[in-house]
Chain A
Amino acid sequence: MSELIRRIDNPEEITVAGRELRENLRAAEATPGRVLEVFEAWAAALREAETAGIPGVQFLRIWLRRGTLEPIIARELGCGALEGAWREEGRARLKAYPLGVVGHWPAGNIEIQPLLSMTCALLGGNACLVRVPGGLEDLTWRLIGKLDESDGQGILRKRIRMLVFDHGRRDLQEAMARAVDGAMIWGGAEAVQQVRGLPFPHWARLAVFGPRISVAAMDADSWCSRQEREAWCRRIARDVWQFDQQACSSPQVLFLERKAGQSCDEFVQLLKAAFETENRLRPRQAIPAGLTTAICQARASWLLDDVAHRALFPSAPDWTLLVGSGSEIPSPTQGKTLSVLEVDDLLEAIEKLDGNVQTLGLAMAEAGREARVASEAARRGVDRIVKLGRMHVFAPPWDGVDLIRPMVRMVRHVPSLG
């Protein structure tokens, strides 16, 4: 077993781990460039059979590529940051320094999130204490094992401690909070509240990524386009399948703008076919019984509520399309349950979005109209407006905030000479 991940039962173990990380940080600096070298080797190692099948690993591999991360580092930390150089700003020099030890409280329902969260802080030169949710222990161990193998010089090995303990252990949660200088907190409302209430040092910076949902929308010309619509359906299916529709960036509803004389039936049948194909390619391996009953409940409620409602679903809980009309976002079910609602004008639906919506996935045939829709959505609290099929592309700003910058200190040096 990789030594980077261990089960913890005693607060003192966390305190010691925090102290070791702090000492290792003092001993050597890790520039983003050197971190990227290890990440590239890690991404290559993740291709192996042992890890390739873990949900989200393809996504993680793309994220770890130099081509993905270099522009993000440059945008968030400035030119020259890759090499750890100071950059000139007038008479001053600026350089990003790590906050220190960053604690990560990832969500338990996204397999790769402990690692994604950790990578953001590592790129800022930090060391990381990561609480691994119990259900993710085995696969996190496999994923971090690949990093361990790829880090020949031990650059990152000395900066990572992954801790497995029950979330109900208040003493361990508190010890972890006391040991860090910053925290990245992901989760549902209740969980986020709990973590925020831990005894962090007064200087600790917290980056909180709370629960949100996402929405997809298509204008009439896009879903009516005979050339394009099958491709759009494939993109929507991909967005729904990734992370089992549990991520904050997963679409829960698809709004279709009505077109006079056009029924959406044919489009819905194509969407059904795309869902069936995606399900064949990426079948679910397991499901919590509570999600199954929630899916059954959503199907039945929808059809009993209104005889004009329609639905398409197989006997298994694999996927569900709930078809109707209206501009309100229905209560999300997740588990690949997509509401497909016709609206007269897309702006009717956009006007009802609020800060609870993280991402708006769009398919629009006219750029000017798309810009207007994007502005309206942004004004109402939506943080990401992207093309359908790219709703999960993990690029900062995420939830409206940068991913590396919140966990670094921008140090300003104004030389005394001259």
Chain B
Amino acid sequence: MDELATRIDRLLAMPPYSLAREERQAALLELLKDELEYACGRNRGLANYVRHWPVEARWARRVADLPYLPVGLLKRQPALSLVEPQEIKRVLTSSSTTGQVPSRIALDSSTARRMTKGVVAIAQDFIGSARRPYLVVDVPGSTGGGPELGARGAAIQGLQPFASEVVYCLRPGQDGDLTLDRGQLLQFAEARRRSPVLVYGFTYILWRYLVKPLLAEKICLGMAELHILHSGGWKLLQEEAVDKATFNEGLARVFGCSPDRVIDFYGMVENVGVIYPDCAQGNKHVPAFAEVIVRDPLTLQPVREGEVGIVQVCSVLPTSFPGHLLLTEDLAEVVAYDGCGCGRRGTCFRFMGRVAKAEVRGCGNIEPSRRESN
């Protein structure tokens, strides 16, 4: 395990976007194989799955040939774990819509430490490494102190290494809804007009509880030196017919900054320590310690540039749960396997929405449901 940890740390220490595709393959393949072997030694069910994989893992010549787990498997109870219960420091839970079971991710201290280092390595490539005031567009206590941490809390916490101070600007409302703490927000803005600031919020929370009300009142906070990071997806905003350009413009008007200060990132708690911020070209990039494979639903082989498929995320970071190779329920288009105009190396892709759930229908559904929806 110590040897594995050293190799993981070595990859984590590299500039995150310096490797071309082939170099990344070489760096990741053997490490992922060894991690898989380690995981199989600790979980008999996983070993059974890997044993049945059509390509023997040891002889795989590409990361794409290694056995991946569908992300839904991480919803199992008890959580799929590679460590003893007493070693689990925290359990991350994914956001899930009503009635759905969330993923449960067991973190030991080593994986938790790498998770923080991974997010920092990625984020500092986009916003620099300096600490700065951190405005969280959420309620205090989202990151909790308990044994479980939700997706919002994990995202908020992941950016805390960039914070010199943390201020939350939402409050729980009387009806269970959230409400903007204007006093707190305006005081924060007034005091930090000319200093660099980091803002984070879930996409729909930022829009619904901060941008919409302040736009309606034509309030501008005048904070030109900030970076706004947001995540959590667009589904709820699509229902309000808010697209990315409208969203970025709205944020820019409210904060008084340029729209290019707004950075959307894709992330999922199951892919601990890896986030995928949009670059200036509007693409998402993969850091050195991870890989993204977009698979053709018909063949499950990697798609060509310009094609859309199911996203598989790969990461060397987790050792407390089998999250190394996960087939997600998201769709993405591979823009290029290298050569993005922003200068970052390796695969760049764009998120294209969620995979529409398949339903068992006997002799049918009135609606064909053969297309994917966002």
- B-contacting residues of A (Cβ < 8 Å)? 105-110, 113, 131, 133-136, 167, 186-188, 191-192, 194-195, 209-213, 246-249, 284, 286-294, 296-297, 299-301, 303-307, 309-317, 331-335, 358
A112 to chain B, nearest CB (A): 12
Is the pair B358, A290 in contact by a Cβ cutoff of 8 Å? yes
Contacts of B215 in A (CB 8 A): none
Beta-carbon contact of B70 and A167 below 8 Å:
no
A316 touches B45 (CB 8 A): no
* 3 nearest CB pairs, A to B: A107-B364, A135-B368, A211-B362
In the complex, what distance in Å separates the CA atom of A259 from the CA atom of B38? 39
Residue from the list A249, A296, A311, A312 in contact with B327, Cβ < 8 A: A296
Q: Assess whether B297 is in contact with A212, with CB atoms less than 8 Å apart.
A: no
Complex CA distance for A249 and B76, rounded to whole angstroms: 31
Question: By the criterion CB–CB under 8 Å, are A108 and B368 in contact?
Answer: yes
Question: Cβ of A291 and Cβ of B298 under 8 Å apart?
Answer: no
- The reply to whether A293 and B45 form a contact with Cβ atoms under 8 Å apart is no
State the Cβ distance, A220 to closest chain B Cβ, in Å.
Answer: 26
- B51 nearest in chain A by CB position: A303
Q: How far is the CA of A249 from the CA of B329 in the complex (A)?
A: 29
The residue from A133, A249, A333, A358 contacting B366, defined by CB atoms under 8 A apart: A133
How far, in angstroms, from A286 to B297 measured CA to CA in the complex? Answer: 8
Kindly provide the distance from the CB of B285 to the nearest chain A CB, expressed in whole angstroms.
23
Q: What secondary structure prevails in chain B residues at the interface with A?
A: loop
- List B contacts of A332 (CB < 8 A): 360
Check B300 against A292 for contact (C-beta < 8 Å). Answer: yes
Whether A284 contacts B362 in the complex (CB less than 8 A), given A108-B369, A133-B367, A293-B327, comes out as no
Quick one: CB contact mask for B289-312 with A, threshold 8 Å, 1 for yes? 000000001111100000001100
* A188-B359, A315-B54, A334-B358 known; A307+B364 contact, CB < 8 A: no
CB of B10 within 8 Å of the partner chain: no
B34 at the interface (CB under 8 A from A): no
Interface string of B349-374 (1 = CB under 8 A from A): 00000011111111111111111100
Question: Nearest Cβ distance between residue B228 and chain A, in whole angstroms?
Answer: 31
List 23 A–B pairs whose Cβ atoms lie within 8 Å, in order of A's numbering: A106-B366, A107-B365, A108-B370, A109-B361, A135-B368, A188-B364, A188-B365, A192-B366, A211-B360, A212-B363, A287-B298, A289-B297, A290-B355, A290-B358, A293-B327, A297-B70, A304-B76, A313-B54, A314-B54, A315-B300, A316-B299, A317-B297, A334-B360
Beyond the given pairs A297-B73, A305-B45, 11 more chain A to chain B contacts, judged by CB atoms under 8 angstroms and listed by A's residue number, are A107-B361, A110-B364, A133-B368, A135-B370, A188-B365, A211-B361, A211-B363, A213-B362, A247-B362, A287-B297, A300-B73
Contact of A290 among B65, B301, B372 (CB under 8 A): B372
Is A315 touching B310 in the complex (CB atoms < 8 A)? Answer: no
Minimal beta-carbon separation of A338 from chain B (angstroms)? 14
B73→A109 contact, CB < 8 A: no
In the bound complex, CA of A107 to CA of B360 (Å): 12
Q: Which residues of B contact A (CB under 8 A)?
A: 44-49, 52, 54-55, 65, 68-70, 72-73, 76, 80, 297-301, 309-310, 327, 329, 331, 355-372
Residues in A neighbouring B76, C-beta threshold 8 A: 304
Number of A-B residue pairs, CB cutoff 8 Å, is 175
Complex partner residue of B72 from A284, A297, A316, CB under 8 angstroms: A297
Residue with the highest number of chain B CB atoms closer than 10 Å, among A188, A286, A317, A335: A188
**Contact call A108/B366, Cβ cutoff below 8 A:** yes
Residue of B nearest to A309 (CB): B48
* Cα-based distance from A263 to B219 in the complex (angstroms): 76
Contacts of A311 in B (CB 8 A): 52
**Nearest opposing residue in chain A for B357, CB measure:** A290
Q: Which residues of A contact B362 (CB under 8 A)?
A: 188, 210-213, 247-248, 358
A29 to B201, CA, bound (A): 69
Interface centre among B52, B329, B355, B358 (most CB of A within 10 A): B358
Contact (Cβ within 8 A) A110 B363: yes
Q: Compute how far the CA of A304 lies from the CA of B321 in the bound complex, rounded to whole angstroms.
A: 14
Assembly CA distance A317 to B298 (angstroms): 7
Q: A133-B367, A194-B366 are in contact. Are A246 and B361 (CB under 8 A)?
A: yes
Find the B residue at minimum CB distance from A191: B366
- With the chains together, A187 CA to B364 CA distance in Å? 4
Interface centre among B72, B301, B329, B364 (most CB of A within 10 A): B364
Shortest Cβ distance from residue A58 to the other chain B in the assembled complex, whole angstroms: 18
CA distance A292 to B359 in the complex (A): 12
Contacts of A210 in B (CB 8 A): 362
Contact check, B368 vs A300: say whether CB atoms are below 8 A apart: no
Asked if residues B73 and A167 are in contact (CB atoms below 8 Å), the reply is: no
B363 and A108 contacting across the interface, CB-CB below 8 Å: no
Structural contact, A186 and B48, CB atoms closer than 8 A: no
The answer on a CB contact under 8 Å between A304 and B49 is yes
Minimum distance in angstroms from A120 CB to a CB of chain B? 14
Q: In whole Å, how far is B105's beta carbon from the nearest beta carbon of chain A?
A: 16
Q: How far is the CA of A293 from the CA of B301 in the complex (A)?
A: 13
Contact yes or no, B368 A315, CB < 8 A = no
Which of A299, A301, A315 is close to B55, meaning CB atoms less than 8 Å apart?
A315
Complex Cα spacing A405 to B329, Å: 45
CA separation between A192 and B45, bound complex, in Å?
39
Selected contact of B361 from candidates A188, A292, A358, CB within 8 Å = A188
CB distance from A198 to the nearest CB of B (A): 11
Contact: A186 with B70, CB < 8 Å?
no
Interface pair A284/B298, CB less than 8 Å apart: yes
Q: Which partner residue on chain A sits nearest B50 by CB separation?
A: A303
- A108–B361 Cα distance when bound, in Å, is 10
Give the shortest distance, in Å, between B115 (CB) and chain A (any CB).
24
Q: In the complex, what residues of B have CB within 8 A of residue A286's CB?
A: 298, 370
CA distance A333 to B70 in the complex (A): 14
Q: How far is the CB of B359 from chain A (nearest CB, A)?
A: 7
B360: nearest chain-A partner, CB-CB: A332
Q: Is the CB of B363 within 8 A of A209?
A: yes
Q: Which residues of A contact B45 (CB under 8 A)?
A: 303-307
Q: Given A106, A288, A307, which contacts B369 in the complex, CB threshold below 8 Å?
A: A288
Q: Min CB distance, B271 to chain A, in Å?
A: 16
Measured CB to CB, the closest approach of chain B to A212, in angstroms, equals: 5
Given the known inter-chain contacts A135-B370, A317-B297, please indicate yes or no for A304 contacting B48, CB distance below 8 A: yes
Cα A183 to Cα B137 in complex, Å, equals 54
Residue of B nearest to A247 (CB): B363
The answer to whether A307 touches B44, judged by C-beta atoms less than 8 angstroms apart, is yes
Distance from B356 Cβ to chain A, minimum over Cβ atoms (Å): 5
CA distance A247 to B54 in the complex (A): 28
For A300, give its contact among B69, B310, B331 (CB under 8 Å).
Answer: B69
Known: A108-B365, A194-B366. A292 touches B297 (CB 8 A): yes
